[in-house]
Structure 1
Amino acid sequence: MSHSELPDRIALTCPACSPAVETAHEVLSTGGGRVTVRCTECQHVHKETPPTEDTTDLDVVISQDGESFTATVEAPADEELAVGEEFVAETDVAIVTVRITSLELDEGRTESAPASEVETVWTREVENVSVNVTKHPKGGQHDATESLTLQVPGDYEFVVGETDELGDLEFTVEGIHVRDDAAGYDFDKLDYDGDTVVAKDVNRLYVRDETSTAWSAW
């Protein structure tokens, strides 16, 4: 943790009132590798070397539209990582928001673990996502069902029962299959009017085509 990242208050021993037990101190200024602090218990002002935080470098594999690339991310060594959590990863290509899909340790994969024990963090990008869609025709003919893919922001909302329009496609959402790594949903398949899922949590979207087709007698 750099001095510029120090919080407004830190825990330190106070030479005036608490030399053995840490108390809360207000950070007044930084410089020269030291910080000037004021004890909140006795108001004594003194300079100290700020506490350092153990960190570890994580190898992160990022999946994006069927392709994968790697990045290295620094994290607190004792931070607990878990499948489903999201974080910002800075790569050589771009800064992206990703979601953890799996954690690889020496002995195999797991759902959660301290950062210091993780060999590889497997993730997928959730800032902009591809949504798989099964589209039924307006007339309901099952032999005319079509599969397609929509490119949307990860926080874009799909609502069962509502008609949406994206590009040249107009459709009504009939059901949504939720991804395994999504949290906060009661069921894997949602099909009641008003059920809402953000795009980054969608495994597959089931829709009825509402696109108007221009017709002329000439």
Structure 2
Amino acid sequence: MVHEIIQAQCPDCSPDEPVPHSILKEKPGMLIKCTQCDAVHPHHIEKKRQKEVRVVVSSGESSFIRKLTLYSDEALTVGDEFVVEDESTGEASFVIVTSIETDIKRVDEAITNDIETVWARSTDKVIAKISITKGWQTESIEIEVPGDREFNVGEILKEGQERFLIKKIKLRVGGFLRDEGNSAQAKYIKRIFADSMERVEFLSRPKKTYRKITHGQGGSIIRPRGSASWISKKKGED
């Protein structure tokens, strides 16, 4: 007969550190046997306390309230992602924690037992904010995309009749992505910066070059007042 193995302290050979034990009996009281010294002793599993936490979820311009059940000693951190459900419809939403409120102040991390309210942002659908430079002017547009939609530096996007090239991406947490091929999911992006294709084509045109003209060693070109012509004058000449 194969017994299930669990980790537990042994009162005989390892009272401080868990060691492997085989389960001899589960109910009404668990009885286990140490695999190191063969000592048999009862084992009590303490049930963890749980707490229901209020979650305020923002989605675009609106917000809604959900509830989340966590273990009381579980830590929650800004940036954590989880699923909340609408109790009436059963509809689930993926959210990401943006702020945590305790009975004292807002923090970036806290134990569930100390949390009053969790502020989160829905990541099922997000608004991608894009700043597009056209010529010497910049305009902003907003598009709704799935939260896991990836944007890449160097990617060409199309909105209506317009096409534009992503130049850099500002993350919600962290700095900018600038190197071509760098990418991030929409739910982690604060703003996208792009150039219109007309601007890209203009900037990629070869630049005109000019050749400097000299007239012999030590010569310089001067332009006398009132004349549109150029004359050459060497050093030491009057």
State the TM-score, normalizing by the size of structure 1. 0.70
User: Larger RCO: Structure 1 or Structure 2 (Cα < 8 Å, ≥ 6 residues apart)?
Assistant: 1
Aligned counterpart for 2:123 among listed residues 97, 110, 126: 126
Distance 1:18 1:128, change over 3 A: farther
Structure having the higher Rg: 2
Tell me the percent identity.
Answer: 30
The answer for the alignment partner of 1:154 in structure 2 is 147
Deviation at 1:134, TM superposition (A): 2.2
Native 8 Å contact 2:13 2:37 kept in 1: no
In structure 2, distance between residues paired with 1:167 and 1:34: 68
Distance 1:43 1:170 in 2: 73
Distance 1:43 1:131, change over 3 A: farther
- Alpha-carbon distance in 1 for matches of 2:68, 2:13: 37
Contiguous gaps of at least 5 residues in structure 1: 1-7, 212-218
Determine which of 111, 120, 145 is the counterpart of 2:108: 111
Counterpart amino acid of residue 36 in structure 2: E
The count of aligned residue pairs is 193
Q: What whole-Å deviation, never above 9, does each CA across 1:48-86 have from its counterpart, x for those lacking one? A: 443311222211111111211111111121222221222
1:87 matched residue in structure 2: 82
Contact kept? 1:9, 1:24, Cα under 8 Å: no
The change in CA–CA distance for 1:198 and 1:33 in structure 2 (over 3 A counts) is farther
Provide the rounded CA distance (Å) in 2 between the counterparts of 1:205 and 1:48: 56
The residue aligned with 1:197 is 184
Gaps of 5+ in 2: 199-238
| Partners of 1:105 and 1:119 within 8 A in 2 | yes
Cα gap change, 1:20 to 1:136, in 2 (>3 Å) = closer
Counterparts of residues 136-147 of structure 1 (less than 5 Å): 136-137=133-134, 140=135, 142=137, 145-147=138-140
- 2:166 maps to 1:173: yes
> Structure 2 length as normaliser, TM-score?
0.65
Alignment CA distance shift 1:41-1:201 (3 Å): same
